Chain A
Amino acid sequence: MKLLAVETSTDACSAALFIDGEIIEKFAVAPREHTKLILPMINQLMTDAQLKPQQLDAIGLSRGPGSFTGVRIAGGVVQGIAYGADLPVVPVSTLAAIAQDFFNRRSDAALSFTAMDARMNEIFWGVYQRNPLGLAELIGAEAVTPADEVIFPDRAGFGVGSGWGVYAEQLSQRLAERVLGIEVDVWPRAGCVAQLGAYGFANGLAVAVEQAMPVYLRDKVAKKQSER
């Protein structure tokens, strides 16, 4: 199983290859440099692995939520490659990728209250638990809401992601003693998108390129004339 993953939904930019269980990743924190970095990263990974896009089984897309422009850069790149090489796409949540990176590094963690800053006084959030294979699995649904409106299960876990930097107070207050610890600086990484994407591919979650769409969570972006 060979899968290429692309992640550009925050200030970080990364690409990764999953080749039969092994993951190689290129990663950089580089605000506004994604357009310069992402294709050279992909090209380098593929050249080093001596792979042509047509030899892959699928492409993993970090489908959001995140910066709208960012998730569309990954979306466009992934659609171009998937269409060009006739490959299916496995969309992976950016929040899941963040939770996965945390689980990979913290073997003691079983639950991640994952939250990203969504600007406009809101956060993108989702609750992820570690499944028996060690992979991040969503409980309930992801959402975008003000920090003091999040709904978390009555279980203890870790606060993970940039949302916990900006809204530490509101989130801690709302979750109270359920919070075992907080880690703010966790990026979504293509390596984790690849890890989750390979698992998704094996479980039939790949879609055709026309269905490989960004997920924005925030769908109301302007007022209609009739609403003004």
Chain B
Amino acid sequence: MYVLGIESSCDETAVALYHASKGLIAHTLYSQIATHAEYGGVVPELASRDHIRKLVPLIKTVLKEAELTAKDIEGIAYTAGPGLMGSLLVGAATAQSLAWTWQIPAIAVHHMEGHLLAPMLEDNPPTYPFVALLISGGHTMLIEVRAIGKYRLLGESLDDAAGEAFDKTAKMLGLEYPGGPKLAELARSGQNRFKFPRPMTDRPGLEFSFSGLKTFTMNALHATQQTEQDKADIAFAFQQAIAETLSIKCKRALQQTQLKTLVVAGGVSANQEIRQQLQQMATKEGADIRFPRPEFCTDNGAMIAYAGCQRLMAGQTQNLEIFARPRWPMEQLISL
């Protein structure tokens, strides 16, 4: 079964083609970073306008790359939420009408389920059950995953998401949007000079909070001359604090659930320092840890095509409603 996957929840338009047994066939992505950079963040209306310009050309590209035609495609998966309403609607409307035209089923996919399942696209995929740490621009969640659609939220951020904390801190340090990867770059030349707090690790529980860390960073920055080295040292300390906090919480989640596999996904899981610290923790715990390849950590069409393919194979489909849910709790998903 060939499934086309469409992702347009935020500022990336992405399309991929996945085959149930052959795996990922082709994928492509258009990033709107340049569009939004001048505004210092994503402008939802501009994002929507870009999606509708790019989506059909990207679908054409993917089919051409795969050397396939309409007749080969057996299902269309699209991100239905959570995300920006206008952006979601472009993908949903196009996907649904294309599926109707081709007389094949469409399936609405939860964006975070897509992220969570991204490691399944790798050669040695994790096996259920596992603990998933989702760290992205809009989410920080620990989830117990029994199977596709069987999710139990173990803990989430009470305020800023991890990626959001990275981006806001990067902005403070004078780095351009989206600052997460740039902050990681700057931290490489940083030295271990500041000690930042590890929020909410001194009490039990699997909740996160990153907004205090942001304030702490601001104060630390203002107490310096703000030289390049000062900024690098602060970036280093900030990244250490996030990495260690995530690591402590993941360790707790593994112990609490008595599970032996940790899956880490979402844009922030591209961060090398975070990967390393989580890897070390997992090794100590005797647990298996899996990440998506870096390009599938951030938004992409492959994860949507994969998730949609699993649900379509289980017989799930979406009726003729153009389904878009800017807010969509993951625990509302039905299992296969």
Contacts and interface: CB of A to CB of B under 8 A. Distances in A.
Interface of A: 34-36, 38-40, 42-43, 53, 68-69, 72-73, 75-81, 83-85, 209-210, 213-214, 216, 221-226
Given A35-B323, A81-B101, A225-B38, A69 B95 contact: no
Contact of B320 (A39, A209, A216): A39
Given A35-B324, A36-B321, A72 B100 contact: no
A222 B43 contact: yes
Given A40-B320, A224-B39, A80 B46 contact: no
Q: Can you list the 9 inter-chain pairs with the closest CB atoms, starting with the nearest?
A: A76-B93, A80-B97, A84-B101, A80-B98, A35-B322, A39-B320, A76-B94, A80-B94, A222-B43
B98 A223 contact: no
B52 to A, nearest CB: 5
A208 to B, nearest CB: 10
B118 interface: no
B48 interface: yes
Interface in B58-76: 59-60, 70
Given A83-B59, A85-B101, A210-B57, A216 B49 contact: yes
Contact of B101 (A80, A210, A216): A80
Interface string B98-140: 1111100000000000000000000000000000000000000
Contacts of B46: 221-222
Contacts of A76: 52, 55, 89-94, 97, 322
Contact of A221 (B45, B98, B321, B323): B45
- Chain A CB count within 10 A is highest, among B46, B85, B320, for B320
A215 B55 CA distance: 17
Interface in B262-277: none
A221 B56 contact: no
12 contacts: A39-B100, A42-B97, A43-B100, A69-B86, A73-B89, A76-B93, A76-B94, A80-B98, A80-B101, A84-B101, A209-B56, A223-B39
B329 interface: no
Interface of B: 38-40, 43, 45-46, 48-49, 52-53, 55-57, 59-60, 70, 85-86, 89-102, 320-324
A83 B56 contact: yes
B89 A69 contact: yes
**Max count, chain B CB within 10 A of own CB: residue among A39, A78, A223:** A39
A74 B51 CA distance: 14
B90 A72 contact: yes
Give the secondary structure class of A's interface. Answer: helix
A79 B95 CA distance: 10
With most chain A CB atoms within 10 A of its CB, the pick from B38, B40, B56 is B56
Contacts of B53: 213
A214 B90 CA distance: 12
Contacts of A73: 89, 93, 322
Nearest to B54: A210
A85 to B, nearest CB: 5
Nearest to A86: B70
B90 A222 contact: no
Nearest to A218: B45
Contact of B39 (A36, A75, A222): A222
Contacts of B95: 80
Contact of A84 (B93, B102, B320): B102
Contact of B52 (A53, A75, A226): A75
A53 B85 contact: no
Given A35-B321, A43-B100, A225 B39 contact: yes
A134 to B, nearest CB: 31
Contacts of B55: 76, 79
A131 B58 CA distance: 40
Given A68-B45, A210-B56, A35 B94 contact: no
Contacts of A214: 49, 52
Contacts of B48: 68-69, 72
Nearest to A33: B321
B104 to A, nearest CB: 10
A81 B86 contact: no
Nearest to A219: B49
A224 B38 contact: yes
A79 B101 contact: no
B169 to A, nearest CB: 18
Contacts of A40: 320
A39 B55 CA distance: 19
B66 to A, nearest CB: 16
Given A35-B92, A73-B89, A76-B52, 18 more contacts: A43-B100, A69-B48, A69-B86, A72-B52, A75-B90, A76-B55, A76-B97, A77-B96, A79-B55, A80-B93, A80-B96, A80-B100, A83-B98, A213-B53, A222-B43, A223-B39, A225-B40, A226-B38
Q: Which of B43, B91, B101, B323 has the most chain A CB atoms closer than 10 A to its own CB? A: B101
A68 B49 CA distance: 9
Contacts of B100: 39, 42-43, 80-81, 84
